[in-house]
């Protein structure tokens, strides 16, 4: 029985590769990763997984590598061969293309390795090499409850699109709240983000204490620096914010990336243009407060002092927002600080924690911040349940009566395409 099982395992592995399940990377700590082999060079192996994205692993931390397609492998002794990498009886081997015998190899002796071209290489400058391109998206719809100047529960829709190539990654998302016919949309947020890193760049290695079980700290010196460009748009009438646009450029670093978890940090310079209009803060109850206050004063009913105070508060807001000063435009410069942590748990569910800080250069005491927690739970192959908790903070709101703290809780279904 044991003999049958030992023979069946290699057959299953080869079958998985044959049906396109991808390449298999095994780390010395015991982690098995399935994805796509990209290259070996300068002592590191570059690998891409669907969940974690691009990973860079030192060769001395690799236990074995199985590829589903031919590679062109150049060794440090000057020999170049074409074939597939695999493992047999615990040893790494190269299965050459053609009738050549299988060769046992040490991965650390590989100088360069990359996917072999499907056709003979063209003369230089005749056929340009195009970067590899992947794309995908997601559509989400659900309900969003927001606690702000006015509490509300409204349906929303969100559209996300991603593109990944060998040289850059692009991410965009649009969130739209389906509410308020007179001031549609009441809430809107859009983001477009580019991350640039060419395949040949090398950077100083950093490591942090986020190692999966069985993987050493040295084995987590993955990815590296990347340049980042971000464009953001936002509208929130409950804040009196008619329109805000952000443009930032900075530098990011992927401290730790694996299929199960990841940590990234970004620092950038940001320019912000804001247009405020307090008309969105004027509601029918403000005018009603004026009539109630007049009736209370006429009766001089001091027992209703609490109602009187609240009514005068709304009356003051009504007079305050009715002034011409309610429309304002501001231009600000500051920093954009972003820290994001992702971890997979509980039946491949993914928890993501994100913290954004926007300190201002113009006023050192002025600060905007946003914390977002997201839990994604698979329901079917392309369908997921998504739960969101968003907390916003603004140290100096533009208008009086607007809360410094705002929160939102959302629940929706996500369809990947």
Q: What is the pLDDT of residue 372?
A: 95
pLDDT band (50, 70, 90) for residue 113 = very high
Max intra-chain CA distance, the chain = 105
Q: What is the pLDDT of residue 212?
A: 37
Mean per-residue pLDDT, 266-293: 71
pLDDT band (50, 70, 90) for residue 146 = confident
The most confident of the ranges 59-73, 172-186, 296-310, 395-409 is 59-73
Residue-wise pLDDT for 228-250, tens only, equals: 999 999 998 877 888 899 999 99
CA 416 to chain centre: 15
Mean per-residue pLDDT, 149-164: 85
Residue-wise pLDDT for 285-305, tens only, equals: 444 555 555 555 555 444 545
pLDDT band (50, 70, 90) for residue 282 = low
CA-CA distance, 144 to 73, in Å (whole number)?
53
Q: What is the pLDDT of residue 251?
A: 92
Residue-wise pLDDT for 176-216, tens only, equals: 876 555 666 778 899 999 988 644 444 444 434 443 333 33
CA 32 to chain centre: 23
177, 181, 182, 186: CA torsion to nearest 10: 0
Q: Which CATH number fits domain 133-278+325-416: 2.40.230.20, 2.70.150.10, 3.40.50.740, 3.20.20.80?
A: 2.40.230.20
Q: What is the pLDDT of residue 17?
A: 41
Which residue in 314, 237, 246, 247 sits closest to 276, CA to CA?
237
Q: What is the pLDDT of residue 204?
A: 40
Residue-wise pLDDT for 344-393, tens only, equals: 876 678 899 999 999 998 877 789 999 999 999 988 878 899 999 999 99
320: its two tokens: 């305050």
- Counting residues of the chain whose pLDDT is more than 90, the rounded percentage is 26
Q: What is the mean pLDDT of the chain?
A: 76
- Counting residues of the chain whose pLDDT is more than 70, the rounded percentage is 69
Q: What is the pLDDT of residue 2?
A: 43
- Structural domain spans, the chain: 2-115, 133-278+325-416, 283-321
Region at 240 (left for phi over 0; alpha for psi -120 to 50; beta for the rest) = left
Q: What is the pLDDT of residue 307?
A: 53
186: its two tokens: 């009441």
- Specify burial of residue 238 (Cβ count, 10 A radius: 0-12, 13-18, 19+): buried
CA-CA distance, 260 to 1, in Å (whole number)?
34
Residue-wise pLDDT for 292-351, tens only, equals: 555 555 554 445 455 555 555 555 555 555 554 677 888 999 999 999 998 887 667 889
Q: What is the pLDDT of residue 310?
A: 53
Q: What is the pLDDT of residue 240?
A: 80
The residues that bridge with 7 in the sheet, in sequence order, are none
């Amino acid at each position: 029985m044991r003999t049958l099982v030992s023979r069946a395992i290699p057959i299953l592995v080869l079958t998985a590769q044959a049906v396109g399940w991808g390449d298999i990377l095994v780390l010395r700590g015991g982690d098995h990763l399935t994805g796509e082999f990209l290259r070996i060079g300068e002592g590191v192996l570059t690998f891409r997984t669907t969940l974690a994205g691009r990973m860079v692993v030192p060769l001395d931390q690799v236990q074995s590598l199985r590829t589903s397609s031919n590679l062109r492998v150049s060794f440090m002794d000057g020999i170049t061969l074409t074939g597939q990498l695999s493992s047999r009886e615990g040893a790494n081997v190269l299965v050459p293309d053609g009738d050549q015998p299988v060769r046992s190899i040490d991965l650390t002796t590989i100088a360069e390795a990359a996917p072999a071209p499907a056709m003979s290489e063209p003369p230089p400058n005749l056929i340009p090499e195009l970067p590899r391109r992947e794309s995908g998206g997601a559509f989400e719809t659900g309900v969003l409850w927001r606690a702000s100047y006015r509490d509300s529960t409204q349906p929303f829709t969100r559209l996300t699109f991603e593109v990944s190539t060998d040289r850059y990654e692009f991410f965009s998302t649009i969130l739209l709240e389906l509410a308020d016919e007179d001031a549609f949309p009441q809430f809107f947020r859009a983001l477009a983000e580019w991350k640039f890193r060419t395949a040949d760049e090398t950077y100083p290695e950093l490591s942090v204490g986020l190692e999966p079980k069985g993987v050493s700290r040295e084995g987590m010196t993955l990815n590296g620096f990347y340049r980042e460009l971000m464009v953001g748009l936002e509208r929130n009438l409950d804040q009196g914010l008619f329109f805000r646009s952000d443009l930032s450029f900075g530098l990011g670093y992927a401290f730790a990336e694996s299929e199960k978890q990841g940590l990234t940090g970004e620092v950038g310079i940001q320019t912000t243009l804001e247009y405020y209009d307090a008309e969105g803060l004027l509601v029918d109850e403000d005018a009603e407060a004026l009539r109630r206050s007049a009736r209370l004063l006429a009766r001089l009913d001091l027992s209703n002092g609490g109602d009187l105070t609240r009514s005068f508060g709304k009356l003051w807001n009504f007079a305050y927002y009715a002034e011409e000063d309610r429309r304002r435009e501001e231009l600000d410069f500051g920093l954009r600080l972003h820290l994001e942590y992702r971890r997979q748990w509980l039946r491949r569910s993914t928890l993501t924690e994100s913290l954004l800080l926007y300190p201002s250069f113009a006023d050192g005491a002025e600060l905007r911040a946003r914390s977002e927690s997201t839990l994604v739970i698979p329901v079917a192959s392309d369908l997921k349940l998504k739960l969101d908790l968003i907390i916003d903070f603004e140290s100096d709101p533009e208008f009086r009566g607007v809360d410094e703290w705002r929160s939102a809780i959302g629940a929706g279904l996500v369809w990947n395409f």
